[in-house]
């Protein structure tokens, strides 16, 4: 699941659960998750990444 | 204010009794708690009984060691049999602990006297102590400011003389942040060293229990008591000549209040003048620590709170509830990525310590913030207070290295600043020996050239 798709699903769920206040927090979390996924320590099934 | 060491000397010289010291603390709680809100509740009756028993034992020749008869406070996350563990939350209404948690058992065996349970950020999930069902704790140096958090009431209790030491918990800096904000020593031992059983968790993979106190020796004495077993002699300071220290740069010095930065650099210069070798090192992946921390801490916390978030969500403070809910959305694959980042960060800090006895950083990038503020301006830019406050301490919750904060000067407004020392994993005593040396150097500095 991409971060973008995850964010859409998460915001929709939060609204369905009556917690619209979560939206800006989930957006901040999405930025953090994108940064985590971009880190150079992540594994890649194609083998080690080139710098 | 009296250190544990001073109290012990006077106690054994029959110049003071535990009952007298305990009454002094209870009197300060009575007089000051309305202003500081450091305690959720005092335990006056139990404290008086414990102090009386401690005095009687000593008179009969039974000396339990350095904590015998010492009045201390306990963060209200620790179970003490027969009283509530509120976690500063309405979620815990009606709770009464059936038994002491192991660290409380160890403190009892060491002869400590419990004067009360201290205020905290609800469920330890915050750095300012503002979100508490019992209202915010306040900083004794300026009551308009936060004492830091989450062990804010604990720090305030010692800084205001309501206890000689206190027990806090630290998941991202919750011992070291309030210790720095209130001008105390705060010690986070190596991860896993001190039992967290019977302590309400925030993140079982990041939580630590440890002391806040007036000196490094006091902090060590309490730390040793937390471990249980026989009392031991405090370690000697490491010889300053030959001491190899490293200041952490880049990420660790990018975002600092000007006065905090100046105080820290003066402190480092004083340590160098005393004879230590000071290098500079980088932790290459330090900029990743915030996101690594977030993706571990949030799901850990959400798992513990899931049932009550569904059943009684209205009993949480609004901010803490939102942060806990955020954790429920983190994917398993991202948690695993964060664990990989954690392993890498741990190895990088290990590598920096392979060549050095300890690593140095400021503890808190800003002085204690005003209560109610959500941002702080650093270098002309508004930054979220919570992120800034966690920035320099959370790396060592992620990696599990022991870390200690020492007072390192004050701002022009009289607000304390702290210096953090980080030592090798599984050797908290080695870190304490370095901290004793640094404490001496900083004390000499304050005599030679007062900060700010």
In A, minimum Cα distance to B324 occurs at A22
- Give ∠ CA B133-B135-B136 in degrees, rounded to 5: 125
Are the C-beta atoms of residues B419 and B403 closer than 8 Å to each other?
no
CB contact under 8 A, A29 and B285: no
Among A22, A33, A43, select the one facing B325 at the smallest CB separation: A22
What would you report as the CA-atom Rg of chain B, rounded to the nearest whole angstrom? Answer: 20
Asked, as a colleague might, if the bond just before B150 is cis with ω within 30 of 0, I would say: yes
Residue B394 CA to residue B397 CA, distance in Å, equals 5
Length of chain B: 452
DSSP B180-207: HHHT-EEEE-STTSS--TTB--S-TTT-
Indicate if the pLDDT at residue B340 is higher than 70.
yes
Cβ contacts of B323 on chain A, cutoff 8 Å: 25
Rounded alpha-carbon distances, angstroms, from residue B228 to B40, B108, B148, B367 = 27, 10, 28, 35
Indicate if the pLDDT at residue B451 is higher than 50.
no
In A, minimum Cα distance to B337 occurs at A42
Q: Does residue B150 have an active-site annotation?
A: yes
CB contact under 8 A, A29 and B329: yes
What pLDDT score was predicted for residue B379?
A: 87
What pLDDT score was predicted for residue A50?
A: 58
Among B292, B323, B326, select the one facing A36 at the smallest CB separation: B292
What pLDDT score was predicted for residue B59?
A: 98
Cβ contacts of B329 on chain A, cutoff 8 Å: 6, 10, 13-14, 26, 29
This complex has an ipTM of 0.95
Residue B429 CA to residue B435 CA, distance in Å, equals 10
A-side interface with B, Cβ within 8 Å? Answer: 1, 6, 10, 13-14, 19, 21-22, 25-26, 29, 32-33, 35-37, 39, 41-43
Q: Give the confidence band of B219 by pLDDT, cuts at 50, 70, 90.
A: very high
Cβ contacts of B295 on chain A, cutoff 8 Å: 32-33, 36
Mutate to test the interface with A, among B334, B335, B340, B386 (most CBs of A within 10 A): B334
Axis-axis angle for helices A3-16, A22-38 (nearest 10): 160
CB contact under 8 A, B334 and A33: yes
Among B318, B326, B334, select the one facing A26 at the smallest CB separation: B326
Indicate if the pLDDT at residue A51 is higher than 60.
no
C-alpha dihedral (B9, B10, B11, B13), degrees to nearest 10: 90
What pLDDT score was predicted for residue B445?
A: 66
> SS3 of B247, please?
strand
CB contact under 8 A, A19 and B337: no
- Residue B196: count of CB within 10 angstroms of its CB: 19
B381: CB partners within 8 A, 6+ apart: none
**pLDDT tens digits along B283-323:** 999 999 999 999 999 999 999 999 999 999 999 999 999 99
Indicate if the pLDDT at residue B448 is higher than 70.
no
Q: What is the pTM of this model?
A: 0.96
CB contact under 8 A, B341 and A41: yes
**pLDDT tens digits along B92-151:** 999 999 999 999 999 999 999 999 999 999 999 999 999 999 999 999 999 999 999 999
What pLDDT score was predicted for residue B230?
A: 86
| b (16+ CB within 10 A) / e for B330-343 | beeebbebbeebbe
Residue B427 CA to residue A50 CA, distance in Å, equals 37
**pLDDT tens digits along B7-42:** 999 999 999 999 999 999 999 999 999 999 999 999
Indicate if the pLDDT at residue A49 is higher than 80.
no
In chain A the first and final C-alpha atoms are separated, in Å, by 25
Residue B180 CA to residue B141 CA, distance in Å, equals 12
**pLDDT tens digits along B384-394:** 999 999 999 99
Cβ contacts of A16 on chain B, cutoff 8 Å: none
For B427, the token pair is 């050797």
Catalytic member of B19, B132, B146, B150: B150
Q: Which of B48, B54, B52, B43 is nearest to B80 (CA)?
A: B43
B196: CB partners within 8 A, 6+ apart: B169, B204, B207, B208, B209
**Parallel/antiparallel/unpaired status of strands B208-213 and B185-188:** antiparallel
Cβ contacts of A35 on chain B, cutoff 8 Å: 288, 291
In chain B the first and final C-alpha atoms are separated, in Å, by 23
Residue B343 CA to residue B397 CA, distance in Å, equals 12
Among B318, B323, B340, select the one facing A41 at the smallest CB separation: B340
Average pLDDT, integer, range B256-275: 97
> SS3 of B72, please?
strand
Q: Give the confidence band of B446 by pLDDT, cuts at 50, 70, 90.
A: low
Cβ contacts of B334 on chain A, cutoff 8 Å: 33, 36-37
Reported as type and span, the H/E element at residue B246 is strand B244-248
Q: Does residue B203 have an active-site annotation?
A: no
Between these two residues, B254 and B450, which has the higher pLDDT value? Answer: B254
Q: Give burial (CB, 10 Å; 0-12/13-18/19+) of B225.
A: buried
For B412, the token pair is 């022009």
Indicate if the pLDDT at residue B449 is higher than 70.
no
Residue B138 CA to residue B158 CA, distance in Å, equals 12
Length of chain A: 51
- Give ∠ CA B386-B387-B390 in degrees, rounded to 5: 85
Q: Give the confidence band of A44 by pLDDT, cuts at 50, 70, 90.
A: confident
CB contact under 8 A, B329 and A32: no
- Give ∠ CA B393-B396-B399 in degrees, rounded to 5: 155
Please count the residue pairs, one from chain A and one from chain B, whose beta carbons lie less than 8 angstroms apart. 57
What pLDDT score was predicted for residue B450?
A: 43
With a pLDDT cut of 70, the percent of chain B lying above it is: 98
SS3 labels along B400-417: CCCEEEEEEEECCCCCEE
**pLDDT tens digits along B409-442:** 999 999 999 999 999 999 999 999 999 999 999 9
What value does the mean pLDDT of chain B take? 96
CB contact under 8 A, A22 and B326: yes
């Amino acid at each position: 699941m991409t971060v973008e798709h995850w964010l859409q699903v998460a915001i929709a769920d939060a609204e369905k659960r009556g917690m619209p206040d979560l939206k800006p927090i989930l957006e901040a979390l999405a930025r953090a998750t994108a940064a985590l996924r971009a880190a150079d320590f992540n594994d890649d099934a194609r083998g080690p990444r080139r710098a | 204010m009296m250190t544990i060491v001073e109290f012990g000397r006077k106690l054994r010289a029959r110049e003071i009794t535990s009952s007298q010291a305990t009454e002094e603390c209870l009197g300060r709680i009575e007089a000051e708690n309305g202003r500081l809100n450091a305690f959720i509740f005092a335990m006056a009756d139990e404290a008086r009984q414990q102090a009386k028993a401690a005095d009687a034992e000593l008179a009969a020749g039974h000396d339990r060691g350095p904590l015998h008869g010492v009045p201390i406070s306990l963060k209200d996350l620790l179970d003490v049999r027969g009283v509530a563990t509120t976690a500063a939350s309405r979620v815990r209404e009606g709770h009464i602990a059936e038994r002491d948690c192991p660290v409380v058992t160890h403190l009892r065996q060491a002869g400590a006297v419990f004067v009360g349970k201290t205020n905290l950020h609800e469920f330890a999930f915050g750095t300012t102590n503002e979100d508490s069902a019992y209202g915010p704790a306040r900083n004794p140096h300026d009551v308009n400011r936060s004492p830091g958090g989450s062990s804010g009431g604990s720090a305030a209790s010692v800084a205001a003389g309501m206890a000689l030491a206190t027990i806090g918990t630290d998941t991202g800096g919750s011992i070291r942040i309030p210790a720095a904000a209130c001008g105390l020593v705060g010690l986070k031992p190596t991860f896993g060293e001190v039992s967290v059983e019977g302590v309400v968790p925030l993140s079982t993979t990041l939580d630590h229990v440890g002391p806040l106190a007036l000196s490094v020796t006091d902090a060590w004495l309490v730390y040793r008591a937390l471990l249980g077993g026989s009392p031991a002699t405090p370690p000697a300071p490491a010889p300053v000549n030959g001491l190899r220290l490293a200041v952490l740069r880049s990420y660790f010095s990018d975002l600092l209040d000007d006065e905090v930065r100046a105080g820290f650099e003066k402190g480092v210069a004083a340590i160098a003048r005393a004879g230590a070798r000071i290098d500079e090192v980088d932790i290459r992946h330090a900029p990743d620590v915030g996101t690594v921390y977030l993706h571990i801490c949030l799901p850990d916390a959400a798992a513990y709170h899931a049932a009550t978030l569904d059943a009684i969500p209205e009993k949480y403070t609004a901010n803490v509830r939102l942060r806990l809910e955020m954790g429920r959305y983190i994917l398993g694959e991202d948690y695993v990525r964060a664990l990989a980042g954690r392993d890498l960060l741990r190895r990088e800090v290990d590598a920096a310590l392979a060549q050095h006895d300890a690593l140095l950083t400021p503890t808190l990038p800003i002085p204690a913030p005003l209560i109610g503020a959500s941002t702080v301006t650093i270098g002309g830019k508004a930054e979220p207070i919570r992120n800034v406050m966690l920035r320099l301490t959370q790396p060592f919750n992620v990696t599990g290295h022991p870390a200690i904060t020492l007072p390192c000067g004050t701002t022009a407004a009289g607000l304390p600043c702290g210096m953090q020392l980080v030592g090798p994993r599984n050797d908290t005593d080695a870190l304490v020996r370095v901290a004793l040396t640094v404490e001496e150097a900083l004390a000499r500095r304050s005599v030679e050239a007062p900060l700010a």
